[in-house]
């Protein structure tokens, strides 16, 4: 059992902190929201008054915050309280440059930090089945790994600091583009008179297969249960996909990488969010392609 600081108890962090407590860790939890703190207390964490209080005496400091600016400001505060043996673990999805800056600032104080963004949504955070992609030294990874293992099903060392965020941004750019491509294929299949379930049965065992197709089919009643079956409520919000695509586009611009499909996906999700649809699951992007719902008249 370790003493662990957990800062950022929102949709994701709330479930993650609860899993650490379930594993018997002594979790000192902080969030700006009183409701989030109350929920963490119910889940077995000890609510504290500040990020600094949470970090005091902790062996690991975990953050799950909205964006890079929050991460940078919280760590600026936390560094002063962190014990030299503590490992800082930022699980938020942020830009690679900020992740590296935070790690350098930690190193300048003799502290170690990893970036450890996640794949898997709110349900995986609650179930403790997240995938963590971790950037940092081998030593830092070794210290972070047992903490992350209590919250996930896979913990993968991606490379040096920033490599976890790099993997996340590339994965989600791929996901955004394959989701739109999967939606297009379903729409065209219907226009050609194919039954969507029959097309699913074929494509999910053929070379067009992808996670967007097999595990998350964007049409109601097709494939396994997915947000499409709940009118695109819950799941992974289109606004969060847009956030990740913006990070990917910024990274592509920084590195001179040519990412035309990612850029097109970012444009489509920009327009979708601007039309007020950002709260829907990201597979609802199929609505912009005007499909026929299965069973509806021609």
37 is an interface residue for ligand NAD by CB under 6 A: no
10 is an interface residue for ligand NAD by CB under 6 A: yes
194 is an interface residue for ligand NAD by CB under 6 A: no
Query: CA-to-CA distance for 74 and 97, rounded, in angstroms?
Result: 16
8 is an interface residue for ligand NAD by CB under 6 A: yes
Site for ligand NAD in 77-116 (CB under 6 A): 92-93
178 is an interface residue for ligand NAD by CB under 6 A: no
Q: Name residues whose C-beta falls within 8 Å of residue 211's C-beta, 6 or more positions apart in sequence.
A: 175, 178
Closest approach of Cβ 120 to ligand NAD, in Å?
7
Nearer to ligand NAD, 13 or 223 (CB): 13
Catalytic annotation, residues: 168
Please give the structure tokens belonging to residue 265. 């996906």
Query: Residue number with the shortest CB distance to ligand NAD?
Result: 10
74 is an interface residue for ligand NAD by CB under 6 A: yes
128 is an interface residue for ligand NAD by CB under 6 A: no
Closest approach of Cβ 12 to ligand NAD, in Å?
3
Stretch that binds ligand NAD, among 62-70, 179-187, 223-231, 289-297 (CB under 6 A): 62-70
Closest approach of Cβ 98 to ligand NAD, in Å?
11
40 is an interface residue for ligand NAD by CB under 6 A: no
Nearer to ligand NAD, 12 or 111 (CB): 12
18 is an interface residue for ligand NAD by CB under 6 A: no
Transcribe the chain into DSSP letters. Answer: --EEEEE--SHHHHHHHHHHHHTT-EEEEE-S-HHHHHHHHHTT-EE-SSHHHHHTT-SEEEE--SSHHHHHHHHHHHTTT--TT-EEEE-S---HHHHHHHHHHHHHTT-EEEE--EES-HHHHHHT-EEEEEES-HHHHHHHHHHHHTTEEEEEEEESTTHHHHHHHHHHHHHHHHHHHHHHHHHHHHHTT--HHHHHHHHTTSTT--HHHHTT-SSTTSSSS-GGGGTT-SSSBHHHHHHHHHHHHHHHHHHT---HHHHHHHHHHHHHIIIIITTSBGGGGGGGG-PPPTT---
51 is an interface residue for ligand NAD by CB under 6 A: yes
End-to-end Cα separation, the chain, in angstroms:
61
36 is an interface residue for ligand NAD by CB under 6 A: yes
Exactly one of 5, 6, 13, 115 binds ligand NAD (CB under 6 A); that residue is 13
Exactly one of 24, 33, 104, 206 binds ligand NAD (CB under 6 A); that residue is 33
66 is an interface residue for ligand NAD by CB under 6 A: yes
Please give the structure tokens belonging to residue 94. 């942020």
- CA 162 from chain centre, in angstroms, equals 15
Which residues contact ligand NAD by CB under 6 A? 7-13, 30-33, 36, 51, 64-66, 70, 74, 92-93, 118, 121-122, 236, 240, 243
């Amino acid at each position: 059992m370790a003493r662990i600081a957990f800062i950022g108890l929102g949709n994701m962090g709330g479930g993650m902190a609860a899993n650490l407590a379930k594993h018997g860790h002594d979790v000192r939890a902080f969030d700006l929201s009183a409701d989030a703190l109350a929920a963490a207390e119910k889940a077995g964490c000890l609510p504290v008054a500040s990020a600094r209080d949470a970090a005091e005496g902790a062996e690991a400091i975990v953050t799950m915050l909205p964006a890079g600016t929050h991460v940078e400001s919280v760590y600026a505060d936390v560094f002063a309280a962190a014990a030299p043996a503590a490992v800082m673990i930022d699980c938020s999805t942020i830009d690679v440059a900020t992740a590296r800056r935070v790690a350098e600032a930690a190193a300048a104080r003799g502290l170690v930090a990893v970036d450890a963004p996640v794949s898997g949504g709110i349900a995986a955070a609650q179930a403790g089945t997240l995938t963590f992609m971790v950037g940092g030294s081998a030593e830092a990874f070794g210290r972070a790994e047992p903490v992350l293992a209590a919250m996930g099903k896979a913990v993968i060392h991606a490379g040096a600091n920033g490599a976890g965020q790099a993997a996340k941004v590339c994965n989600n750019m791929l996901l955004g583009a394959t989701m739109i491509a999967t939606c297009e294929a379903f729409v065209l299949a219907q226009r050609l008179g194919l039954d969507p379930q029959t097309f699913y049965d074929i494509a999910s065992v053929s070379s067009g297969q992808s996670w967007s197709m097999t595990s998350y089919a964007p049409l109601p009643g097709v494939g396994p249960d997915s947000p499409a079956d709940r009118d695109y409520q819950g799941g992974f919000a289109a606004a969060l996909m847009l956030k990740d695509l913006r990070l990917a586009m910024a990274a592509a611009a920084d590195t001179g990488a040519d990412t035309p499909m990612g850029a097109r996906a970012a444009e489509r999700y920009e327009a979708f969010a601007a039309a007020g649809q950002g709260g829907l699951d990201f597979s609802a992007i199929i609505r912009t392609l005007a499909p026929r719902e299965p069973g509806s008249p021609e």
